[in-house]
Amino acid sequence: MTRKRLGRSALYVTDICMGTMTFGLQADEAVSFTIMDRAMEAGIDFFDTAEMYPVPPSAKLFGITEQIVGRWMKQRGYRDQILLATKVTGPGHGWFRPEIRHGLTALDRHQIIRACEDSLRRLQTDYIDLYQTHWPDHGTRQEEILSVLTELVDQGKVRAIGCSNETSWGLMKNLWEAEKHDLRRLDTVQNNFSLINRRCESELAQVCRQEGVSLLPYSPLGGGVLTGKYNDGALPAGARFTDYLSQGGPRQQRMARRFVNERTLETTARLQDIARDIGTSVTALSVAWSKQHDFVASTIIGATTVAQLEESLAAIDLVLDAETLARIDAIDEAIPTPMTEDGLRRL
């Protein structure tokens, strides 16, 4: 498995990262342990979690995923063998109100320090390899956020810092503030990036390349859409967007329609033809495509079963040739940005 540096930090990680967003909800603790064991067996040494997990977030389940990961590391004795990433929850920016600390999740000194100490306790460790802000807080001075994160690095509680769900402007603003005030710079940005959401390839990719920041794409399978399970109008029982559409509120239903719509499903159908021609699945194709980008350090995969994990692991040695990449680009030209609001307006 290929290893890449996280930004300008001293950390090198496998180019596939094991995401844990489903642990404690869709996957119980026993299954979660089995999934993490298999990831380690496959050579993955980079694991990503968050205080807000599992998703969808709830006050009842808040912190359970970190607890599961912490117990697994403790029981297996793996802490020094893996690189561990987690996140402090920021504002949900209208998509949701985080049910953490009563929704009071502005990123200030109190919030970050409290969240970090709580994560260390749940994870049963005294350090976090990569600590990320989970949603930005552009209403707080970025200097204050970076100052606190720098303190955590200086104290040895955190090794590197990053952000997630950030804009190109927000990333550049953070980098400028770090340089201006001699603070720790962000080494990573974790954003949604997939074959049905390729927006990172434009402005954000250029920022990453020029400023030495690594993208950590999450949802490379488009929330499961690219597996094909929603094709032909299917709404499989227990699937996230099935639940959002049938039981969720207006915000969850709108999110589901961003992922599951005529344009994303048509993109998936066309990708199935390509995958079939090269003898693989769209799952493996999607993960391989993601990790071949030069500005990507590690692609975050998720799973609720070991069988699902195996489909993603098929991408470990899969390299897409120029002809295959050109065929993929042709689909994007025919059906551009299917997950965007513009795509929804065309329905």
> Buried b / exposed e across 157-177, counting CB within 10 Å, b at 16+?
bbbbbbbbbbbbebbbebbeb
Strand ranges in the chain using DSSP code E only, listed in sequence order: 3-5, 12-14, 16-19, 46-48, 83-89, 128-134, 158-164, 188-190, 214-215, 299-301
Please enumerate in sequence order all residues whose Cβ is within 8 A of that of 90, keeping only pairs 6 or more positions apart, or say none.
105, 106, 107, 133, 134, 135, 136, 137
The catalytic position among 53, 131, 230, 244 is 53
Q: Are 171 and 138 in contact (CB under 8 A)?
A: no
Q: Are 188 and 158 in contact (CB under 8 A)?
A: no
CA atoms within 13 A on the CB side of 116: 28
What are the angstrom distances between the C-alpha of 146 and each of 77, 79, 175? 32, 26, 10
Give ∠ CA 299-297-56 in degrees, rounded to 5. Answer: 35
Q: Are 210 and 233 in contact (CB under 8 A)?
A: no
- Give catalytic status of residue 78 as yes or no: no
Catalytic residues: 53
